[in-house]
Chain A
Amino acid sequence: MKRQNIRTLVLIICTFTYLLVGAAVFDALESKMEITQKKVLDDRKRELMDKYNLSKVNFDELERVVLQLKPHKAGVQWRFAGSFYFAITVITTIGYGHAAPSTDGGKVFCMFYALLGIPLTLVMFQSLGERINTFVKYLLHRLKKCLGLRHTEVSMANMVCIGLISCMSTLCVGAAAFSRYEDWSFFHAYYYCFITLTTIGFGDYVALQKDNALQTNPQYVAFSFMYILTGLTVIGAFLNLVVLRFMTMNAEDERRDAEQRTLLSRSRKTGGGGGTMSDPPSSSGAAHGSGKGLCNVYAEVLHFQSMCSCLWYKSQEKMRYSIPMIISHDLSTSDTYMEHSEISDALHSNGCVCSALQEHSGTSSVYTGLLSPAHYQRLSKRRSSI
């Protein structure tokens, strides 16, 4: 089965399993407390009903009024500051729900507003996040140079480490600030920051809802807005660094497959052009015909592509001095990455082999023996046929 399909199926299964496990754990953690809390509240409710001689209907009405008054208790929600707050929760998809449009016109505008605003915000945060990552990479590089370190390249591990630390500190800064202004415990404020910056936004804790802060405390309001937007940028930068590449994996594999198919169909069309490619020593003579030459170029392109995928995977394993050697044979099954176990005899392997002649001892998942000078000559002869 195609790699992309396998990957997708595995991801689906993983997600469902993850949901099941999460549901079980939440059940275990919260069910008991829910039952006890409900019992306590029901008892208290009955007491109050008895004390004031309220019938069920009366109490339901009272309940309705109280619940509907809930957003109003927190102050005016739709004056400019509150609307701005609401607009932020819409386009960042946080969506607390502390205030939600009650008019139908508001609902309609909200939907159109989100339709345009959400992609705009996604692109903006990723764009800014990428700039931040580049800047941080540059700073780290300079720092390494200043410190007189030998290797001044900034590795992925460095960047991930820095990203994690900035996320953690953003959350902690927010937790400290909100615990002070909103009178929450540090833990609850941290939980609030986390739920906000991951855009989940339950709404069980919402900032700017005490003492009409939206209207009376403009500095705190400005701080909250800036915190949410900056925090989302930091998280966005981290996602850009770590997660974005996985979101494009399927598309890139699909592209590669399409190229291989095109190449194969072309080589089949030019009638046995593939024969020249499978035999390196004789290819120099055969490559000069224009049609076959065309094939060869495409073949070379594909090989370089495969080799480069190889290289890329290599660089992912952080091998510092990986040097590619091309041994290209059969096109039709050109694998971009050869596992260590598959390489018994490099010369007879199918497809591209990316081997690394390690100059430093270290881990190598792909290794072929040193190739003889004669082999180099054969390869270089091949070069001229391009």
Chain B
Amino acid sequence: MKKQNVRTLSLILCMFSYLLVGAAVFDALESETESARKRFLEQKRNDMKRKYRFTEDDYREIERVVLQAEPHRAGRQWKFAGSFYFAITVITTIGYGHAAPGTDAGKVFCMFYAVLGIPLTLVMFQSLGERMNTFVRYLLSRVKRCLGLHRTEISMENMVLVGFLSCLGTLCVGAAAFSHFEGWTFFHAYYYCFITLTTIGFGDFVALQKKEDLQEKTPYVVFSFMYILVGLTVIGAFLNLVVLRFLTMNSEDEKRDAQERASLKRGRNLTAMNSGRGNHCHSNLFLPIEEGTSCTNLILSPGEERKLYSPLPLHANQCRFRSQLSLLCTCICYHLGLCNSPTPSQNKCPECNINSVYYNSVSYRIQGSSSTRINTVLSSPGSTVSPGLSFRELPGARRKSL
């Protein structure tokens, strides 16, 4: 089965097992406490009902009033500061629920607001996170150089470590601040920061809900908003570093498969044509596609070039040239992950056939890592290629054969 399908199926299975395990553990941890608390509260409620002699209807009324008044306990929620807070919880998808639009118009606007705001925020955080990672990488390399270390390249492990430490640091700073301002324990404040910055946002702990904080304590309000946004950036940077590559894995495999299919097709054309030609100078040079690295590019050999000079109609020359170039380009395109649709034979020129055949192949790999190296694997006519042969190892004479 294709790699992408296997990967997807295993991920689905993993997730379901993870959910089952989680459910079992939460059940074990919380069920008993829940039933005990429920018993206690119901007892208390019955006591109070008896004490004040509420009728059933009145009690239900009291309940309704209390529940509806709950958001109002925390002060004005929809004045500008509160609305800004709400807007943050919408577009970052935190969604505490401490305030939720009561009017239908508010609900409608909320939906449209989210449709545009959430992608914008996602892209913004990833963009800013990537910039931060680059900057940190630069700083780290300067630090390494200053310290006079032997090797100043920054490895992935360095970056992951720094990222992890910054996340922890952010959570601790927030926990300290909120436990001071909100009167929570450090652990509860840490839990609040964690639930907020992972955008889960239960709403069991919500900042800025002590009486009229939103309207009166402006510096604290500004700090809270900045903390949420900066914290999300730090988490976003860490996700950008570690998780983002996995999100594009399937599409890259798909692209690679399409490339392979295209090359195989070309190879078949190649062998078919080769059998009819006596030109052994430019024998079949179809490179096997190395997993994930190389691709075959077909560049004109001198013999073929002569054809270009021959008095063929201009259009045919153009056609041939175009087809070769477009094949070259589409190949490079996939390779660099630039193009989308994996249909290589896009030569729509009516007069040509796609016989960009028997050229010396150049395949290369451009590594997108922090230290970009360009490996070129060259082949000369008639030879097989060992992929991974670095360019420098080949003698200068080889160059001419290209």
Contacts and interface: CB of A to CB of B under 8 A. Distances in A.
A323 B45 CA distance: 78
9 contacts: A72-B38, A100-B202, A114-B195, A126-B247, A239-B122, A240-B247, A297-B376, A301-B376, A384-B305
Contact of A114 (B107, B120, B128, B194): B194
B20 A128 contact: no
Contacts of B336: 305, 308
B53 A103 contact: no
B29 A105 contact: yes
B67 interface: yes
Interface stretch (A215-223, A270-278, A288-296): A288-296
B106 A200 contact: no
B30 A106 contact: yes
Nearest to B4: A131
Q: Max chain A CB contacts within 10 Å: which of B66, B340, B391, B395?
A: B66
A84 B20 contact: yes
Interface residues of B, number: 158
B207 interface: no
B123 A97 contact: no
Contact of B80 (A27, A41, A301, A315): A27
B65 A48 contact: yes
B326 A323 contact: yes
A22 B27 contact: no
Interface in A31-87: 31, 33-34, 37-38, 41-42, 44-45, 48, 51-52, 54, 58, 61-63, 65-70, 72, 76-80, 82-84, 86-87
A33 B22 contact: no
A243 B123 contact: yes
Contacts of A301: 364, 366, 374, 376
B187 A104 contact: yes
B181 interface: no
Interface stretch (A12-20, A142-150, A341-349): A12-20
B97 A91 contact: no
Interface string A97-131: 10011111111011101101111111110111011
Contacts of B322: 323-324
The 8 closest A-B pairs by CB, nearest first: A290-B396, A200-B95, A95-B200, A97-B202, A202-B97, A97-B203, A87-B22, A203-B97
A30 B83 contact: yes
A255 B329 contact: no
Contact of A27 (B45, B78, B94, B110): B78
Interface string B327-350: 011101100111111010000110
B55 to A, nearest CB: 10
A52 B58 CA distance: 10
Contact of B124 (A5, A12, A259): A12
B247 A63 contact: no
B118 interface: yes
Given A5-B131, A30-B78, A95-B200, A54 B52 contact: yes
Contacts of A312: 333, 338-340
Contacts of B299: 383, 386
B161 interface: no
A30 B130 contact: no
A66 B87 CA distance: 29
Contacts of B276: none
Given A311-B329, A377-B308, 13 more contacts: A66-B62, A78-B34, A82-B27, A95-B199, A100-B202, A106-B33, A110-B195, A114-B194, A187-B104, A248-B244, A259-B366, A304-B329, A307-B332
Contacts of B223: none
A93 B318 contact: no
Contact of B131 (A4, A69, A124): A4
B96 interface: yes
A160 B78 CA distance: 36
Nearest to A5: B131
Contact of A41 (B65, B116, B120, B130): B65
A298 interface: yes
Interface string B314-331: 100110011001101110
Interface stretch (B10-18, B143-151, B262-270): B10-18
A91 B18 contact: yes
B259 interface: no
Nearest to B19: A87
B23 A80 contact: yes
A253 B281 CA distance: 41
A96 to B, nearest CB: 7
Given A130-B254, A376-B308, A91 B372 contact: no
Interface in B16-49: 18-20, 22-27, 29-31, 33-35, 37-38, 41-42, 44-45, 48
A38 B242 CA distance: 47
Interface in B69-85: 69-70, 72, 76-80, 82-84
B249 interface: yes
B292 interface: no
Interface in A169-214: 187-188, 191, 194-195, 198-204
A174 B138 CA distance: 49
A23 interface: yes
Contacts of B254: 130, 134
